[in-house]
Each structure stands twice: as C-alpha cells, then as structure tokens.
A and B are shown apart, each in its own frame.
Chain A
Amino acid sequence: MNVPAVHLQAGDVLLDLPVENRCQLFEVIGRHVERGGGPSTESVASALLRREQLGSTGLGDGVAIPHAQVRTLDRIRVFYARPRVPLAFDAPDRRPVVDIVVLLVPHPTTQEHLEALAEMVSRFADRPFREMLHRCDTSELVATHFRRAVVPDVCLSR
C-alpha cells in the first residue's frame, strides 16, 4: 500500500470560495495560512502570484496546482480550494478551473516536493476520483475522500 506524500487536513479544505480571479484566491489562501499561525498573508499570496506569472499552473480538465516556495515553512503544506464559480486560469485546454490544490514548500525540487506534486497530478488525472470529489460538499468529506482513495504509485524508491 502506497503512503501519501502529503496529508490533506479537513481544516485546509476551502469550499465555495467567493473569488473571481487568481489574485483573490491567493489572498484567501494567504489569510488562511496566517490565521493558522503560518507566514503572513502577503508573503504567501505574493509567492503564489510570482510563481503564476512564470506560467500557468493549470493542468487542464478543470484542475490547477498553484505552488510556491515559502522559506519560513518547516514542512510542505497542502490545501484544496473550490471556488464558487469556475476560475479562468490560462490552463492548457483553456477550460476554467474548479479543483485547486495549493502546495507551499520550504524548498523546491526536492524529492518530497516533486512526489507531492506527482501524487496530486495522478489523483486528479483519474476521472472517477474527480467525480467523487465533486460530490463531497463538506471539508470533512473532501478530506476523507483524499484519505480513502487509493494513493497512486508515484515513487520508485518506496
């Protein structure tokens, strides 16, 4: 049985977000992180925005995986966000985004970071996973779905 690279906590699931664009989304994520005792809203939001300016983190099929390096973190943090209305994200297929996984990492391009990214991509590449996820209408159900779904095999060294 594969071990997940990152664990999504129910408290880090943000549903029905009243945001209209990526800037507003990143502000909400930043506020959430700061409220939880993490880095400041501004540092998180600006890091996510700077990364997005290098190229969209949209994956297609309504999924995006914005991420950024936040040096003051001591571990990878993962959040799931679902906007109230689909967001334009400049994804490769031009479709707006409904599933957003945010990764904040202390160091980029480590095995841990890339495994976390690969795991999320592999989960969301699975259409039944996405369809079931869209039926989860509370944070607890979303977190439980992530926990119970089969963890994709993304690591060769485990």
Chain B
Amino acid sequence: MNPSLCIGIASRDEVLEVAAREGSGNIAVFLLPGSSMGIAAIRIILADYAVGHTRVVASGKNAIDLALTLGNVPGGEAFVVAAETGKEAADLVRYATRVL
C-alpha cells in the first residue's frame, strides 16, 4: 500500500532533517529542532494526513525513540533504518518509497 505521506527523518545532535513526500511525488525538505517541539511538529504534519496512510523512516540519533513516538498514529507505520541507508532525509524518503 503506497502511503499518502512519507516522511524521512535524519536525526542529528540538535536538529531533525525532515523530508516529506506526498501523493504528487514532490519532496519538501526542511529542518526542525531536535526537541519535543520538533517531534510535536512532525506529529502535527502526520495528523494533517490522518485520513490516509502515513509512513515514517528514521535514522541517526534517537531514531528508535522517534519511530516509536511517531509510528503511534492511526494509519501510520514507522521504520528505523541504518544511517548508511541514506545520510539525508530525502534519501530516506526515496528508500521508503522504493524498497519498504
């Protein structure tokens, strides 16, 4: 099942590099603070798509925590991948779309 929204998160020390790809296929890339507020912002973006199927792919620091937190939304699924899979968030989104 293709997700209506796919989010890749490359987690670093104090910043979350986030890439979002929605139905049209365009990938938007942006930075959020690596704090509870940044995570809340990603939950908000996921909730925008609550009627659809969402997929989160995380790598890097605290990736497991991110996946556990963000995968717990209705219609959502979350994956943790090795950092070697993609250093940039956009790479993670492409990987998630192509492979997972």
List the interface of chain A (C-beta within 8 A of B).
51, 54-55, 57-61, 63, 65, 91-93, 108-111, 113-115, 117-118, 121-122, 124-125, 152-157
Contacts and interface: CB of A to CB of B under 8 A. Distances in A.
B38 A121 contact: yes
A55 to B, nearest CB: 3
Given A55-B44, A121-B38, A153 B20 contact: no
Given A59-B44, A125-B38, 13 more contacts: A55-B44, A57-B44, A92-B36, A109-B45, A110-B28, A111-B26, A111-B29, A121-B38, A124-B37, A125-B33, A155-B29, A156-B17, A157-B29
B40 A60 contact: yes
Contacts of B29: 111, 155-157
B31 A118 contact: yes
B47 interface: yes
A72 B32 CA distance: 29
Enumerate the 7 nearest inter-chain pairs by beta-carbon distance, A residue then B residue, closest first.
A55-B47, A125-B33, A111-B28, A118-B30, A121-B41, A54-B50, A125-B37
B13 interface: no
B37 A61 contact: yes
A51 B88 CA distance: 30
B92 to A, nearest CB: 14
B35 interface: yes
A54 B37 contact: no
Contacts of A113: 28
A156 B48 contact: no
B61 interface: no
A121 B17 contact: no
A125 B26 CA distance: 27
Given A109-B5, A121-B33, A125-B35, A114 B28 contact: yes
B87 interface: no
22 contacts: A54-B47, A55-B47, A55-B50, A58-B40, A59-B44, A63-B37, A65-B41, A93-B36, A109-B22, A109-B28, A109-B48, A114-B30, A115-B28, A117-B44, A118-B18, A121-B33, A124-B37, A125-B37, A153-B31, A154-B32, A155-B31, A156-B17
